[in-house]
Structure 1
Amino acid sequence: MGKIIFITGGVRSGKSAFAERYAKQLFQIYDRKRLLYIASGVAIDEEMAERIKRHQQDRFNSSVQWETIEIVDDLVFNDELFAEHPIVVWDCLTTWLNNVLYKTELLNGEARTHEINRYIQALKEQVLKWKEVNDCILLLVSNELLDEAQSKFSEVNRYCSLLGKMHQWIVEKCDEAYEMDYSLRKRWK
């Protein structure tokens, strides 16, 4: 059976760097054949384009070969990629959820809620499949946004509520959970 590792923390807390280092260690320890990186970022502005470029360069300059899969919202995967029990880093779920909310924003009421829930359910099923069927070691990276006061904007509160519930589900299912702060990690589980 595989493993789920959850890594969270504030923006620029060192989450991605820790996830990549840990993935490379696990890749060598478990002698896996593939090291996959699922990227959900979209270059919507210059700052995001620079962040994506920096992350790509970090992986390119790595001592191991990363395979990158871009998943903006729909979870479309080639199952053959996961047949060899890879180490997988998904960076990041916060961005993925944001992309889902953006994609569904023109839907109204129950139709939108249903569609968002469909995406989240698909994510849960995929994560469990990778762990239980494909024997993957999966490092899920996400931002910690729930330390802030409640927003006056309903869409921000919806996002935080969905993210919080998603985090709770992941932590319940995961084998290890880490929180990053100033590049320092605290293991919670």
Structure 2
Amino acid sequence: MGKVVFITGGVRSGKSAFAERYAIEHMSSTRNSLVYIASGVAFDQEMEQRIQRHQQDRLSSPYQWKTIEVRDDFHPQLMTFTEMDIVLWDCITTWLNNVLFKTEKLHDEERLSRINTYIMELKTYIKRWKENKVIIMIVSNEVLDEPSSNYVEVNLYRKLLGELHQWIVAMCDEAYEMDYRILKRWK
């Protein structure tokens, strides 16, 4: 079996840097390839700068990263990972946000059905990667510490993300939380 590592924490807490270092440590011992699944979309200047910073970090690394963009839909290329490949997905929070944005014009029942299809597909991919002996590191943001919102969309997002986090943690091999660059291993 492969390995699933879940890394969560506050925004700009050091999650990505930790995940990249951890992936490189695994790669150094296995000599397999490093794959970066990116879900960020440059909707504004701040996000564009963050994406560029992450890209620069990988380009300036002495290790070669293959980047695959997964904004919402999954590509068949994602099933071609081989045994012990190291895959870092940064981040699942952004991916879910993209799914909600893509489905926002659908009517309630149809929208929820489509969102659930995306989530089930994500779960299928994660399970298959683990079965195929891929090491997958999933980065996510911790947004569930905030009080309930007055906005239905925000509460839907929090509900879906919370359920997704619970599922990932239940099936993962390791779970970490990063706050203020301080790392805590929960599982």
TM-score range, shorter chain: over 0.9
> Which segments of structure 1 move beyond 3 Å, counting only runs of 4 or more?
none
TM-score (norm 2): 0.98
Deviation at 1:57, TM superposition (A): 0.3
Deviations 1:43-102 (A, max 9, x none): 111110000000000000112100000000001131574025310000000000000000
C-alpha distance in 2, partners of 1:60/1:81?
23
1:25 corresponds to 2:25? yes
C-alpha distance in 1, partners of 2:11/2:98?
17
Is 2:37–2:70's contact at 8 Å kept on the other side of the alignment?
yes
Deviates further, 77-86 or 109-118: 77-86
SS in 2 for 1:82: coil
Letter in 1 for 2:162: G
C-alpha distance in 1, partners of 2:30/2:107?
47
C-alpha distance in 2, partners of 1:93/1:80?
18
Q: CA RMSD in A?
A: 1.0
Letter in 2 for 1:95: T
TM-score (norm 1): 0.97
Q: How many residues are matched?
A: 187
- Find the counterpart in structure 2 of residue 165 from structure 1: 163
SS in 2 for 1:78: helix
C-alpha distance in 2, partners of 1:81/1:53?
27
SS in 2 for 1:7: strand
SS in 2 for 1:75: coil
| Structure 1 residues not aligned, in runs of 5+ | none
Change (3 A) 1:79 1:8: closer
